[in-house]
Chains A and B, each alone.
Chain A
Amino acid sequence: MKKLNITVTYLVFLLLLIIPLGQVLSSAFSTGFSGFWSALTDPQALHAFLISGILVGAVTALNTLFGVLLAMLLVRETGISRRIRQFLNAVVDLPFAVSPIIGGLMILLLLGPHTALGAFLEDHGVKIVFALPGMILATLFVTFPLMVREVMPVLQEIGTDQEEAAYTLGAGSWRTFWRVTWPSIRWGVLYGVVLTVARALGEFGAVLVVSGNIINKTQSATTLVYQQVENFNFVAANSLAFVLAGFSIVVLMTLEWAKRRKEV
């Protein structure tokens, strides 16, 4: 029985992960290393990587800041009523329950060029949809729960005693946060950062909807893969996919390491 279990597990692992990854690898290098390399150094690909980089950087920074703030608010702020707290808690989980495409559509419907808000912003020179800000918003929407849900349990677990001790010793809330709270939550935050990076890099649906996938403008590495497949450029698609997959594997290994640190 145990043997069978192990065999099935390996089989599923092989079928779902290893074989497709091998397929990507062999296709990427089917015209040799030069084909792989030229697919990556193509101006369109380089631009897509740049966009992905900016996207991931901005989303991770914003999500970390707001995620930690909201987690502190939800766990520590006793002033807000229970109802508001429950409501906020439910809203945080919304992106888990809603498809990313619908998330993208919500942004489109709210800020698109044909809406009052979108038109107003465009008149003032701020372009949100079909531009980088919209992509950042969409990715933020998708990744938002990751940081909050990572930090909240850690805050709950450490309790308020150490913070209150710091207050009685004369420390203000800023010093208390950095000297007392932060060292306890930093590995949780790192874990949240890693999850956010991985998710932001791989996000496809929401970004596709709001970006319009304009070449050399709003195309991210992920949506470029999609476009290359549509154009039957399998070598290019697989080369990009291989790099993205490789990056994700490194990120996830960091995650494992962060998780172990979090537990000590």
Chain B
Amino acid sequence: MQIEVRNLSKKFGRVSAVDHVNFEIEQGKLIGLLGPSGGGKTTILRMLAGLEKPDAGEILFQGNKVNHLPPQERGIGFVFQNYALFKHMSVFDNIAFGLTVQRKSKSEIRDRVHEMIELIGLQGLENRAPHQLSGGQRQRVAFARALAPSPQLLLLDEPFAAIDAKVRKELRTWLREMISRVGITSIFVTHDQEEAVEVADEIMIINQGRLEQKGTPWQVYKEPLTPFVAGFLGESNLLHNPAHIVGFESAPRPHSEKARVLIRPEAIEVGREHEISNLSAAALGIVRSVQFRGSVWQVEVEVGEHRLLAHRTLEKETLLPGEQVAVLIHSLHLFHDEQSLFLENELKRANTRAI
């Protein structure tokens, strides 16, 4: 189902939970809603489901306004954060619930439930009660229950939050496959940026009730529109002023307090002078600390007034704290006056051209 949301707003008392949000979702896409706690993700999902009434704005499914429709008539499936399985019903009855509401025949219901149970791989557990299942199994039942009546839109509120890290990884790959197999438009909420980046076709970053940015994970990472997005997705160094950064001398000098400079750790090259690809574009710095981060060294380096975090591949020689190194900043993002600029090191460019 194709979804469109216009100027959606919701207040709880004086708190603006959702604030003039606009977006459009294409048929069959898997969208990740990502943002800090209390940002309004659940509220957006609940308004789409009809469980919460918007104060203002429109929700359109396939171009038709659905604001007035109760949750029963929206054709959605909802997977709750704590699963909300019917605890007095067996796995079978949980999955069958939506089908009995549709007054399907007994045999139709049985076939569909068995199809769903096969899909989630829980054959033989039909008669268990929810409290006899593990967290991951409950999650799957909740998913099957929401999917059984063939909804047009699937909404998942932090579907993996209550599951341990390893099972979580398996489940999200599983979910990704399930959803693309069924081909249903889906929106899922998550706190976990890795999860969003890995699973979603597109992500939407929600902060303080506002939609900060929407795009493919790569787009959002590569071209963050606001300092918030830049800081939220991926690791970054956030500075107030690009002054005194070698290679960016002619960058615009923002005077407003709100201006920010973002440098990704992987855009910073640190090393002994002979290792640096383009020494003339580099500054000098002192190593302050070195940490092992699983797949890279994270090096904290002091350059002039700034302290920056940089990544260094493992196969290079280990740097020592206190050591003097060359620091080459390849690129940075500059945010000022509601704009975002992506700048590359000028000296490096000039040099390359000269060659």
Q: Which of B51, B88, B101 contacts A169 (CB 8 A)?
A: B101
Q: Do residues A180 and B72 form an inter-chain contact, with CB atoms below 8 A?
A: no
Least CB distance from A170 to B in Å reads 4
**In whole angstroms, how far apart are the Cα atoms of A179 and B98 in the complex?**
12
**In whole angstroms, how far apart are the Cα atoms of A179 and B86 in the complex?**
9
Chain B neighbourhood of A175, CB < 8 A: 101
**In whole angstroms, how far apart are the Cα atoms of A77 and B145 in the complex?**
27
A42 within 8 Å of B by Cβ?
no
- List the B residue with the shortest CB-CB distance to A169: B98
- List the B residue with the shortest CB-CB distance to A162: B84
Chain A neighbourhood of B72, CB < 8 A: 167-168, 170-172
Most buried by A among B72, B73, B87: B72
Chain B neighbourhood of A165, CB < 8 A: 78, 80, 84-86, 145
A167-B51, A171-B97, A171-B101 given; A183·B88 CB < 8 A:
yes
Q: Do residues B97 and A169 form an inter-chain contact, with CB atoms below 8 A?
A: yes
Least CB distance from A203 to B in Å reads 35
Least CB distance from A174 to B in Å reads 11
Mask: chain A, 131-153; 1 = CB below 8 Å from B; 0 = not: 00000000000000000000000
- The count of chain B contact residues (Cβ–Cβ below 8 Å) is 25
**In whole angstroms, how far apart are the Cα atoms of A167 and B73 in the complex?**
9
**In whole angstroms, how far apart are the Cα atoms of A162 and B84 in the complex?**
5
Q: Which of A161, A170, A172, A183 contacts B98 (CB 8 A)?
A: A170
Mask: chain B, 176-216; 1 = CB below 8 Å from A; 0 = not: 00000000000000000000000000000000000000000
**In whole angstroms, how far apart are the Cα atoms of A262 and B51 in the complex?**
29
Chain B neighbourhood of A162, CB < 8 A: 84-87
Q: Which of A161, A168, A180 contacts B146 (CB 8 A)?
A: A168
Interface members, chain A 62-78 (any B CB < 8 Å): none
Q: Do residues B88 and A161 form an inter-chain contact, with CB atoms below 8 A?
A: no
A164-B71, A175-B101 given; A169·B149 CB < 8 A:
yes
Chain A neighbourhood of B86, CB < 8 A: 162, 165-166, 179-180
Q: Do residues B88 and A184 form an inter-chain contact, with CB atoms below 8 A?
A: yes
Least CB distance from A83 to B in Å reads 15
Q: Which of A168, A172, A183 contacts B77 (CB 8 A)?
A: A168
Chain B neighbourhood of A183, CB < 8 A: 88
Chain A neighbourhood of B87, CB < 8 A: 162, 184
Chain B neighbourhood of A184, CB < 8 A: 87-88
**In whole angstroms, how far apart are the Cα atoms of A184 and B92 in the complex?**
19
B49 within 8 Å of A by Cβ?
yes
A161-B82, A184-B87 given; A168·B71 CB < 8 A:
yes
Chain A neighbourhood of B102, CB < 8 A: 170
Mask: chain B, 116-145; 1 = CB below 8 Å from A; 0 = not: 000000000000000000000000000001
B70 within 8 Å of A by Cβ?
yes
Chain A neighbourhood of B145, CB < 8 A: 165, 169
Chain B neighbourhood of A166, CB < 8 A: 86, 97
A168-B49, A184-B88 given; A161·B80 CB < 8 A:
yes
Question: B residues near A, CB below 8 A?
Answer: 49-51, 70-74, 76-78, 80, 82, 84-88, 97-98, 101-102, 145-146, 149
- 5 contacts across the A-B interface (CB closer than 8 A): A165-B85, A166-B86, A169-B145, A171-B97, A175-B101
Query: Which 4 residue pairs spanning A and B have beta carbons closest together?
Result: A161-B84, A169-B98, A183-B88, A168-B78
* Contacts A164-B71, A166-B86, A169-B146 known; 15 new A-B pairs at CB < 8 A: A161-B82, A165-B84, A167-B51, A167-B70, A167-B72, A168-B71, A168-B74, A168-B78, A168-B146, A169-B98, A170-B72, A170-B101, A170-B102, A180-B88, A184-B87
